Amino acid sequence: MEKLHDLLIRYNTSIPQESRTSWSKQFLAARFPEYWYRVYSLLMGIDRDSRVVEIGCGQADITSILCYLNFKNISAYERDGKLAHLAEEKLRSLFGKEGIVILSEFNNQTTTDADVLILVNCVYADGIHTKNEYLDRIISWYEAANKPRYLLLEFIDDSYIEEDEGFPKCVRLNAQDVRRIFPNSQIEVFPTYKYPINKKSKNLYFITTLS
């Protein structure tokens, strides 16, 4: 993991200042965000032949874990053209990999087959007004990925009660909400950010759907 960490810091430092997004700056620091380490260790236990779909890869910092761990079948969706291009460049330069990044919005019209679905650091309330709409969107994405066995989903926790326009209360979930939409599953919860130490509170859910 240390080698990947060093590789990413060196690469991310070489990106021009103007291309650095607010969230990508945390991938320049000596200690990466907690969700990054957690995703890494959870992926270690998953078969490398699994089909992995990542929604919202940004500049491919999480996607880099997948490449480093030698996952062979990765589709990383990114709707922003500039970021998708940066992500492609990074994966080519660090791992010699191409054809991973898909410049497209992942939505309920997407059709793909995944064994693992990853949605981390990717909470957007666009078009969402109620918690049920938000939960429905998560389920529709799970179905669009053809009901993968494993899900790594990071959500803002509803223990975070500050007013926050970007992250309204309807996109803040608790463990019961997640259990409600994935009833026949084994669910593990890992805190990744905690307000007020961090700007908000978030949890990473590792969901294994039971057949």
Q: Based on CB atoms, which residue is closest to ligand SAM, 21 or 174?
A: 21
Q: Which of 5, 20, 79, 92 binds ligand SAM (CB under 6 A)?
A: 79
Alpha carbon distance 129, 33 (integer Å): 29
Q: Based on CB atoms, which residue is closest to ligand SAM, 62 or 153?
A: 62
Alpha carbon distance 69, 48 (integer Å): 8
Smallest distance from ligand SAM to CB 96, Å = 21
Q: Based on CB atoms, which residue is closest to ligand SAM, 79 or 169?
A: 79
**How crowded is residue 90: how many other Cβ atoms within 10 Å of its Cβ?**
24
**Should residue 23 be labelled a site residue for ligand SAM when binding is judged by CB under 6 A?**
yes
Q: Which residue is nearest to ligand SAM (CB)?
A: 56
Count of residues making up the chain = 211
Q: How many CA atoms lie within 13 A of 2 on its CB side?
A: 0
Alpha carbon distance 149, 113 (integer Å): 11
Binding site for ligand SAM (CB under 6 A): 23, 55-58, 61-62, 77-80, 83, 105-107, 120-122, 124
